[in-house]
Structure 1
Amino acid sequence: MARRKRRKLSKAQQRWNTLVAAVVLLGVLVGYLLPYISSSVDRATGGYTASGQAADVLQTLQVVDDPQPLSRYNREYFGFRETDEDSNGCDAREDVLARDLTNVQFRAGSSCKVQSGTLADPYTGKTIHFQRGVQTSKAVQIDHVVALSNAWNSGAYKWKTDELRRFGNDPYNLLAVDGPANQEKSDAAADQWLPSNASFDCAYVARQIGVKAKYALSVTSAEKDAMLKVLHGCPAQAVPSS
């Protein structure tokens, strides 16, 4: 069978293909270098400097870039919803729903189970009308502001069971939030995820700092830089007291 002759490209086509390849390569290089360029610009212009109480507390946190946990993380160690820290007979989810929602209605005959309410979601800025149900309860989830795996790598791997459970159910580190936003965040630290509602960034980062200070947890360099970059825009930001 005769071979088909390969069609020779014209000089114009060759130049066009070379140009396209160069543009693609340039795009790849820019995408790779942009974070480093942006970081350098921020440092040169003071973008990683911040003042105020939250920034001051951040400076007291230990920086550990390569944590070496002594054992593998397991979410179950933290016993979320398995303890009743305030001894009111309600688990952590119900307590946080009752605290963060407005117009709260409890299930008939219960002083714990929130049946319905309204959430002004801090992560997205949306208003969510919560209704308990098999298919509807997940619309509002309880987020550990400092994710449990982040806490583990930041020093919680050294804790005993009681301390792990206290952290896992501490209302100071818990917020009722939009379910999909909570799933999107997952176990990300501040250098990997911030709320889409940018007006909440300062309060969000300040609470993470407060939690890490309360439990003597560390931050990574990247995490600290991301927090400083946020706090640069809100010099009066305080660490939440509760």
Structure 2
Amino acid sequence: MTTHLTAPSLVALFLLVTLWNQTSADHSEVKLSNSGICHDSSSRSYNRTKNFTPFQSLEDCLDAGGRLPKGQVIERKSSSSALNEYRREHFGSGWADTDSDCQNSRHEALIAQSTGQVTFKDHRECIIRTGRWISMYSGKLIHDATVIDIDHVVPLKWAWDHGANEWTRERRIEFANDPVNLLAVEASLNRQKGAKGPGEWQPPTNQCQYLSRFRRIAIKYDLAPNLVPPC
């Protein structure tokens, strides 16, 4: 006997599949909350976090300036070969607040690079809300801090692959928060760049300025400056 689905049954099946796919997708993304905390699906606050910026991985969220929920740690791989693999945590758990003034290095970079007065999220003046930034990567004027990523000019993974794997943890944290290596740019271009070196990616504008800065940082930290293309 052949069973034929009625139109209402087909509609119900379609809605069920759509809902299942949406639920699966929602739980695969990492949520950066307005308070700057990265919640993956294992976080107790994951489902309660409604206002957030989505990321594909926990490391991407930490790279963008987020921090782990209190008491949560990144699971470490047990194999000895994993010790030489890049992980964001090798450079610290997100942005550091080295002077304990509640402004981590992301927000200090936003303040330093704003060409106008910044405003804060609240009276504590820890989190920047607005300012006036001109992206070196595009020349565009940006006022909303939530659409800005702080880019590591020399990406952390690129640094790891070119010598930072032999550094102490303290030196890697210093590198990850060095203002010379931090640029306020639009999130879209920072994520397009990813961990690519200057031979694979350069910004749409100001390429010579970008290459000069990349080379200066590579020389400072002895990270294969000979691999930086000439301008």
**What is the TM-score of this pair, normalised by structure 2?**
0.60
- How far the C-alpha of 1:84 sits from its partner, in A, is 2.3
Identity fraction in percent:
34
* Separation in structure 2 between the aligned mates of residue 181 and residue 99 of structure 1, nearest angstrom: 20
Counterpart of 1:91, as a letter, is N
Work out which of the residue numbers 75, 97, 102 in structure 1 matches 2:88: 75
* Separation in structure 1 between the aligned mates of residue 99 and residue 183 of structure 2, nearest angstrom: 17
* Separation in structure 1 between the aligned mates of residue 99 and residue 211 of structure 2, nearest angstrom: 26
Work out which of the residue numbers 184, 189, 214 in structure 2 matches 1:208: 214
Q: What do the CA deviations read for 1:89-144 (whole angstroms, capped 9, x no partner)? A: 3111111111112231123312331121122111011112215xxxxx1x110100
Say whether residues 1:173 and 2:198 are aligned partners.
no
Q: Residue 145 of structure 1 contacts residue 175 of structure 1 at CA under 8 Å; is this kept in 2?
A: yes
Q: Residue 85 of structure 1 contacts residue 170 of structure 1 at CA under 8 Å; is this kept in 2?
A: no
Rate the CA distance shift 1:150–1:179 in 2: closer, same or farther, 3 A: same
Give the structure, 1 or 2, with the largest relative contact order (CA under 8 Å, sep 6 or more): 1
Q: CA RMSD in A?
A: 2.0
Q: What do the CA deviations read for 1:196-230 (whole angstroms, capped 9, x no partner)? A: 01xx112211111111111111146xx33x2x1x1
Counterpart of 2:129, as a letter, is Q
**Which shows bigger deviation, 148-157 or 107-116?**
107-116
Question: Across the two proteins, how many residue pairs are aligned to each other?
Answer: 149
SS in 2 for 1:117: strand
**What is the TM-score of this pair, normalised by structure 1?**
0.57
The aligned residue for residue 162 of structure 2 is 154
The aligned residue for residue 122 of structure 2 is 108
Counterpart of 1:79, as a letter, is G
Structure 1 runs, 4 residues or longer, greater than 4 Å off: none
SS in 2 for 1:194: coil
SS in 2 for 1:103: coil
- How far the C-alpha of 1:83 sits from its partner, in A, is 2.3
* Separation in structure 2 between the aligned mates of residue 123 and residue 100 of structure 1, nearest angstrom: 14
Q: Which has the larger radius of gyration?
A: 1
